[in-house]
Amino acid sequence: MNLVGLATQIQQTSQIMQQSALVAVNTNLTIRNWLIGFYIVEFEQKGEDRAKYGEKLLQNLADKLNEDGFSYRNLKLFRQFFTLYPQLSDFVRKYLQLPDYEDIVTLQSVIAELENESSSIGQSAIAQFKTHSSSIGQTPSAQLPLIPSEKLIRKLSYTHFVQLLSIEEPIKRLFYELECIKGTWSVRELNRQIKTLYYERSGLSKLPEELSAEVQQKAEKETIISSIKSPFTFEFLGLKSKDVVYESDVEQAIIEHLQEFILEMGHGFCFEARQKRILIGSKYYFCDLVFYHRVLKCHVLIDLKIDEFSHEHYGQLKTYVNYYKKEVMRADDNPPVGILLVTDKDNALVEFATADSDKEIFISKYLLELPSKEKLINFIKTEIAKFE
């Protein structure tokens, strides 16, 4: 074997081990969330004090657990996941090596043997989920084939399942499951195909096979990086949200310097967050930098895109601004301000966005207090030049 052969062997081995580790993480995350969904449903049916909590069960449970990964929203998704995918029970049983449900006292000891993350939620419930899984929730119509549960869990991450949960029609959900597995779609690609009505377009197409071939050829594939960076995965692994890097190295470097640049300018800027996670509906968004301005008494949101200006970028920033206006702004605050920095190698652009405030005095004041467009454009050009 020569040096080139040795390098190739090492690279191939590394890729195989990375993929194996990713599959293990995704599998355990998916199974854990499905089991938690089962525990919740079983408690709602048989819990001794279920009537005490009623509709507030999930919120009370979230408060009791007090962890980001077990928020009210996540617990609600876990329950929905179990309800829509009860057919996963056989794979769960085999994966956890449970040959006889009646012989299992708690799930905790089984998970401990596998050195997986254990959960203290409803640990006595495992002995009964076999019977529940056949009666709780509605499986797809008997006329529809089911994708083998092992393939579903091995080929789709839990984040993929979250996108699929929004689809009410079983046949439509099955269509996207098949296409996603066949094309090894990324989560973003799955979400994009759902939003662009791929299922409906396929039904209307005279040549659905050609449409499928075209879609699969252009589809964004799942990668190790895109899989592992899911907020669900980071929460499962016990990592903090600030550890998640969602943008390019160049963009991150500029954001880091931009944070220093803004603070050095003074004018009342108080740093609040970087890569601020914002939950809108069932989707997470990340605003690059969030400041609070003591003089203007408002939040200043900054989003940077290493790209040409697009209305999508501007619309995203406006969404952040409106979110802060509705969910974060206090009664004595002024409306939040957004600053969009967009750049490519040929030009730089800065756009300011307010929450449609009609306070002319405030608008004039923020133009005075905030960095000028010229200063921000010069800053961007200087930073980009460092990477050329």
User: What tens digit of pLDDT does each residue of 7-35 get?
Assistant: 988 988 988 887 787 788 888 899 999 99
pLDDT in tens, 201-210: 888 887 888 8
pTM over 0.75: no
Determine the pLDDT at residue 103.
Answer: 36
User: How far is the C-alpha of 347 from the C-alpha of 307, rounded, in Å?
Assistant: 10
- pLDDT tens-digit readout, 86-103: 888 888 888 877 544 433
Ramachandran angles phi, psi of 279, nearest 5°:
-100, 115
β-pair type (283-293, 337-343): unpaired
- Mean of pLDDT over the chain: 75
Q: Is the pLDDT of residue 350 over 50?
A: yes
CB atoms within 10 A of CB 79: 22
- Amino acid 176: pLDDT: 93
For the chain, which domains are there?
1-139 (no CATH), 141-243 (no CATH), 245-385 (3.40.1350.10)
d(CA 136, CA 43): 12
Measured CA to CA in angstroms, residue 378 lies from 92, 303, 350 at distances of: 56, 17, 10
Position 107 pLDDT exceeds 50: no
The answer, yes or no, to whether residue 166 has pLDDT greater than 70, is yes
Going through the chain in order, the beta strands assigned E by DSSP cover 269-280, 283-293, 298-306, 337-343, 348-354
Give the integer Cα–Cα distance in Å for 178 and 180.
5
